[in-house]
Amino acid sequence: MTTLLAIDFPPVSHVTEWGDVWLSDGPLAINKIVILMWVSAALAFLFMWAAGRNFQMVPGRLQGVGESFIEFIQNGIIMQTMGKDGLGYTPFLGTLFVYIMICNAWGIFPALQMPVTARMALPALLAIMVWAVFNIVGVVKNGLGGYLKSVLFPPGVPVALYILVTPIEFVSVFFVRPLSMAVRLFANMLAGHLLLVSFAVLTTAMFEFFPLAAILPGAVLIAMTLFEVLVIFLQAYIFTILAAVYIGGAIHPEH
């Protein structure tokens, strides 16, 4: 009798709609994803509060970690994209980076294994928040007319081309920027999650069928998990640096 290996891959709806609805139903339902959002926010707050609550001239271990993180945000992101005028946005950009990285990291934790940012709602909300910040900053710094002029009528363009350039710039700044930020973060984290789930299911099925056959998919699963650690950091960095670029462009529009 021939034994056939049957591998039951979970449907996409199962690995994205993670967990049953708790406490309520409808758009305000509270499920595991929502709980992880709250936990991520709490962890981000605790990290920053603990790192800065007892400032000392000779920093302890936790304060040293916090200071290193602030230097990374300021020197690695703000000074590279916004200049000195952007240093005041360190708390916002630092919080954004830490929160996204924690939300991403749930994807490699056993039993949880679901990055919160693999659900479109959170990346969309963060992108809308960044969109609101850089537009408000642009209006406050340059006035409504000056900001719209800098956005819709970039200097150095022949007047005749404004009939094409102005609509393109309008769509790009006010629609494409937040959409691309949200989709980039969501798609990368969801793709990594689906790969890890696929290789985890494959490894389990192969182990039950023939343990030695699970070595290869198991090794790939470990390698993919290690790579996902890099993706967790990289996607938080990319989202944060794009936010800094857009805010810096609103502060210093081209003249």
Could you report the per-residue pLDDT of 115-147, keeping only the tens digit for each?
A: 999 888 899 999 999 999 999 999 998 899 888
User: Residue 24 has what pLDDT?
Assistant: 54
Q: Is the pTM of this model over 0.75?
A: yes
65-94, pLDDT tens digit by residue? 888 889 999 999 999 988 888 899 999 999
pLDDT tens, position by position, 101-112: 999 999 888 777
Task: Report H helices in the chain.
Answer: 12-16, 32-52, 61-73, 79-81, 90-105, 121-152, 162-171, 177-209, 215-251
